[in-house]
């Protein structure tokens, strides 16, 4: 990973994504987090601006505090349960999404399209895939039942006009199609990459750039995207990662398990 230098602070793309995504979480929220950058970003928010943030893991955990340097290899090991308020069967923690207790779901993505649909199942046709990816896990449940933040690398091969396979539904075909298909709740809210923060137009549900990271131009974002991006008129620039934020991330992930 090439390190980018802005002012006097150097950071990797993964660190930038984790910091920018963590800033979107609001104190008091209940967040359903996936492993990797989402877990790191949620923990960062919890230790930073959102001390009353409650993290849920699909392994069946409510309100843990991840121990620095002891990051779990998935959301299903004992490292996910440290100082938690409750452990419960995984089916039951997922059912909390259906009941409506979760403010936001937060996960990574392999491939996304202009309406925020995610693919983590197949590259190429499902009956004859070029690559069989690991699959949905809880992704389909989370994205079907609550609002979503996705954290991923901004690359043209990942930001495509149409995903090969809708594993986790976003706004489907845009407009009101998500609700019409039978998903009245939630939807894709934010996509955070190493270049920008994106949202979705209220009417058309097309992806739109809300904010650019320091030193990034809209054209650069567009060049790394496989479909025409909208931009909001009052496009902003995100604040540089602060040294305290980077220090926290490196304390949490000293072995660069998630942020390599």
What's the min distance (Å) between Cβ of 159 and other proteins?
19
Choice among 3, 15, 58, 77 that is catalytic: 58
The answer to whether residue 48 forms part of the interface with other proteins (CB under 8 A) is: no
The answer to whether residue 38 forms part of the interface with other proteins (CB under 8 A) is: no
The answer to whether residue 69 forms part of the interface with other proteins (CB under 8 A) is: no
CA 114 to chain centre: 16
The answer to whether residue 30 forms part of the interface with other proteins (CB under 8 A) is: no
What's the min distance (Å) between Cβ of 73 and other proteins?
5
Q: Locate tokens 């996936």: which residue?
A: 34
The answer to whether residue 14 forms part of the interface with other proteins (CB under 8 A) is: no
Is 58 one of the catalytic residues? yes
Kindly state the tokens that stand for 19: 């910091």
Separation of alpha carbons 66 and 13, rounded Å: 22
The answer to whether residue 82 forms part of the interface with other proteins (CB under 8 A) is: yes
Residue-by-residue DSSP string for 154-212: --TTTEESS-SS-SB-SSTTSTTHHHHTT--S-EEEEEE-SSEEEEE-TTT--EEEEEE
The answer to whether residue 87 forms part of the interface with other proteins (CB under 8 A) is: yes
Judged by CB, which is closer to other proteins: 43, or 167? 167
Site for other proteins in 130-189 (CB under 8 A): 130-141, 144-145, 165-169, 172, 178, 181-183, 185
Q: Segment contacting other proteins (CB under 8 A): 10-18, 92-100, 205-213, 233-241?
A: 92-100
Which residue numbers are catalytic? Answer: 58
Binding site for other proteins (CB under 8 A): 35-36, 58-61, 73-74, 76-83, 87-91, 94-95, 97-98, 121, 126, 129-141, 144-145, 165-169, 172, 178, 181-183, 185, 257
């Amino acid at each position: 990973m090439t390190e980018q230098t802005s002012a006097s602070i150097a950071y990797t793309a993964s660190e930038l994504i984790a910091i920018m995504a963590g800033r979107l979480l609001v104190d008091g929220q209940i967040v359903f987090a996936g492993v990797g950058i989402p877990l790191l970003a949620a923990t960062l928010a919890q230790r930073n601006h959102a001390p009353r943030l409650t993290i849920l893991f699909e392994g069946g955990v409510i309100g843990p505090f991840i121990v620095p340097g002891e990051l779990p290899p998935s959301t299903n090991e004992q490292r996910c349960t440290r100082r938690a308020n409750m452990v419960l069967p995984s089916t039951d923690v997922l059912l909390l999404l259906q009941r409506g207790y979760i403010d936001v779901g937060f996960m990574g993505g392999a491939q996304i399209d202009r309406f925020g649909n995610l693919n983590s199942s197949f590259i190429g046709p499902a009956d004859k895939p070029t690559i069989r990816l690991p699959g949905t896990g809880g992704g389909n449940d989370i994205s079907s039942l609550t609002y979503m933040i996705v954290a991923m690398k901004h690359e043209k091969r990942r930001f495509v006009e149409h995903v090969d396979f809708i594993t986790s539904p976003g706004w489907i075909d845009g407009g009101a199609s998500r609700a019409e298909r039978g998903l009245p709740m939630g939807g894709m809210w934010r996509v955070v990459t190493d270049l920008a923060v994106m949202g979705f137009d209220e009417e058309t549900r097309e992806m739109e750039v809300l904010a650019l990271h320091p030193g990034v131009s809209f054209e650069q974002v567009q060049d790394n995207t496989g479909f025409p991006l909208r931009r909001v008129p009052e496009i902003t620039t995100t604040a540089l990662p602060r040294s305290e934020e980077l220090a926290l991330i490196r304390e949490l992930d000293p072995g660069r398990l998630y942020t390599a």
